[in-house]
Amino acid sequence: MRQMQVVKVAVEKTVYHFDKDFDYAVPDSLTGQAVPGCRVLVPFGAGSRLRQGMILSSAEELDSGKKLKYIRAVLDEAPLLSHEMLFLVPWLKQRCFCTLFEAVRLLLPVGLTYQLRRFYTLAPDVRPAEVQRLLPDEQIVVAQLANHAAVERKKLLKCAGLPPDSNVPDRLCEAGILSCTRNPVRRMGDAFKKMVRLCAELPQQFRLTPRQKEVFKVLQDVGCASVKEICYFTGVTPVVIENMEAHGVCETYEQEQYRIPYSKNGIAAGEQTPIHLSPAQETAFTHLYQLSCKGDASAALLYGVTGSGKTSVYLCLIDKALEAGRTALLMVPEISLTPQMVRIFRQRYGKKMAVFHSGLSVGERMDEWKRVRRGEATVVVGTRSAVFAPLDHIGLIVVDEEQESAYQSESSPRYHAKEVAWFRCRYHHALLLLTSATPSVETYYAAKTGKIDLEILPERYGPAQMPEVHVCDMNAELQNGNVSILSRPLLEAVQETLCDGQQAILLLNRRGYHTFVVCPDCGHVMTCPNCSISLTYHAANHRLMCHYCGYSVPMTMECPACHGTHLQYRGSGTQKAEEELKKLLPQARVLRMDADAAMSRYAYEDKLHAFANGKYNLMIGTQMVAKGLDFENVTVVGVLNADGSLYNDDFRSSERTFDLLTQVVGRAGRGRLHGRAYLQTYTPENPVFALAAKQDYPAFYEQELPLRKWMLYPPFADLCVVGFVGSEEARVRGGSSIFLQMLRKLAASEYGKLPLRVLRPSPARIVRMDGRYRYKLLIKCRNSLLFRKMIACLLVAFSKRKDTKGVTAFADINPDSIL
């Protein structure tokens, strides 16, 4: 028997219950090219239609006569995924209940992905008489292909004036008039610039014009330059260079050009300014550096009050990692935090730094990925997706504001960036550093029980002092006739601050103008037709909008239920608050920071830079203004609705509220000026406000922990949420009950030793979203390999049942928010 190369391939567009790594044979012509980490085209299914796949492993086997399909093409010249990333793919499938190729997509930038598109050509030997018998629209299509080798379907239909869903090309293929092939097309091409250099062997005799002599002299001095640069410095046109090339004096060539984000923001790059640590910072840094030098994977929590200088500590650790020839990754939860962090890192590390977040263009994200993969960038800063940056020899991963929900993906694959970071640290024997002024209860519990190391920064850095915090009772304000958005103490504090030339930040975690519209005649609330949620009025475009599915409709003053014309606006969002602030404080230069005001590229950076430079002296915004921002001139902060997140039906409501209040209070008085903070609430007796005012996280933790233990919530148990989604509520509700019955049966038979507490299925907090109904089932469990195996079996069996058709089930272990 002869030897044959067999590869295991993760194939795209497979369903979860049928997904696995599929075996394919490698033809002799592709031997040496089909290696793990490369993408391939493979025939799949009964019809052997071409699909894209990723080679996960390769082996030599004896040709036993087993009928294996052959791969058709290798799409990459070199592997895109390292051994670590290939190891990560099945780990993500097992942890996140996703398909293998869904995991592969996480690891690659969008610009590098291929799409299989249909291309049409005229079939050979098509006779004119056959064309004349065709319908008019068919003749137009044939005419479009008369002078082209192959045309992509979308372009062909557009040129022929046909709709995108037209079946004319398919009819022509069935008639034998056209031929169709499916070819891979990359979503984004590489960027190139045209370069020019002198030829290695110049002609023995050549004469140059005065302008050509200028070009010749520049090329002699610099060796090579772009055509654009030559034209700029010499004042010639490209025609001059073309003539020199025609006479063999110079040659042009294409050179890849990176699309680097933030490259035009004027930041001086690569200045290694010394960092002066306080005694507490020095102690924390020394212990963490010793931990990173052990050679084993380790994890630690750096807990410090707001303004204590946690950033300086991990910058020193990054410096040490780079000195040791290793790489480093810093993750931040929000895009709004990246501009300030990018500025700090670009100043310190220059071109060694790369940035990853969803606000970049497709080309920028792809080029940053390439720079990291090629080793040109050794420090990465980014949001959740940055955890998959193709760094090698990682020495340190920092997760800043580690408690933030933004690190949890809410769509498949439902991964948590902290878990992936820990996987990568174990692979590279690196240090995982979690930092926060308000760590999650689970992380702080792990630190207090010795599972991870704990370092504490108890005081602010330098002369900065903790702000003075006031809790404002809005009930008393109403009784005294104050119906504005600002309590009297907060209004007076802001007025005083602005008069002193200082700045203030106000938090209102609701965007829009009014939060809902109601008819007083019949009580009808204007709601989204796709979601069980009220519509928010936006004054900027005079429309009612849904913040969940994006539905939008022009505002009308007629009630759709009773046709009354007395609709009333209720609730206040950031747009209305901005308008009211301008009336209350005519001297204020107000900046609004929310998702609506920062929709354009680099809007976050531009607006925050303008605030830092004093163009604005009062900033009102959603939670994006609450965390990570460092403005020395901000001396007053205010929370306009501190009750907003306190009374949600989630066991983390108190923790989230304490976190948000503590973080926003921490924006005040971060420099030499004294800071003040004001928390406006209708329930001032709630202990969360007193603890947030004191910035006393340990006391909050001690208060919260017994409740978690009594209710058996994390950190004392893991929580698995099984979600059910479908277009018919009765079927979704029935499907959740069927799943519960399956769980009972399987747990009693094969998995009897698993500790489980199961809560009956119930509607999601927002039961209908984007036209689909949602139910949930909660399982309190231990997140073990055996438990995940049971859930995977249930998901596969559930999807195969006929009585659950139309209902999709998914599982999410320890999600940040319950469905």
Mark the binding-site residues, compressed into ranges. Answer: 519, 522, 528, 531, 546, 549, 559, 562
Question: What's the rounded Cα separation, in Å, for the pair 240 and 227?
Answer: 10
Question: What's the rounded Cα separation, in Å, for the pair 168 and 151?
Answer: 14
Residue pair 746/792 in contact (Cβ under 8 Å)? The answer is no
Radius of gyration of the chain, Cα coordinates, nearest whole angstrom: 31
Tokens representing 289 are 């550096």
Residue type, 745: K
- 677 to each of 223, 490, 504, 695, how far by Cα in Å? 60, 8, 10, 11
DSSP letter for each residue of 234-259: H---HHHHHHHHHTTSEEEEEEE---
Residue closest to 584 by CA, chosen among 484, 475, 482: 484
Residue closest to 532 by CA, chosen among 732, 772, 809, 810: 772
Instruction: Give the burial string for 111-135 (b: 16+ CB within 10 Å, else e).
Output: bbbbebebbbebbeebeeeeeeebe
Tokens representing 756 are 């489980």
Q: Give the helix ranges, DSSP H, for 264-400.
A: 279-292, 310-323, 338-349, 362-373
Q: Exposed/middle/buried for 749, CB within 10 Å: 0-12, 13-18, 19+?
A: exposed
In the chain, what is the straight-line distance between the N-terminal and C-terminal CA atoms, in Å?
A: 56
Pairing mode, strands 772-781 and 718-726: antiparallel
Phi, psi of 646 (to 5 degrees): -80, -30
Question: What's the rounded Cα separation, in Å, for the pair 751 and 743?
Answer: 10
Residues at the binding site for Zn(2+) are 519, 522, 528, 531, 546, 549, 559, 562
DSSP letter for each residue of 402-449: TT-GGGB-SSSS--BHHHHHHHHHHHHT-EEEEEESS--HHHHHHHHT
Other CB atoms within a 10 A radius of the CB of residue 46 amount to: 5
Question: What's the rounded Cα separation, in Å, for the pair 243 and 240?
Answer: 5
Q: Exposed/middle/buried for 468, CB within 10 Å: 0-12, 13-18, 19+?
A: middle
Helix, strand, coil % over all residues of the chain, rounded to 5: 35, 25, 40
Phi, psi of 678 (to 5 degrees): -130, 125
Question: What's the rounded Cα separation, in Å, for the pair 127 and 384?
Answer: 58
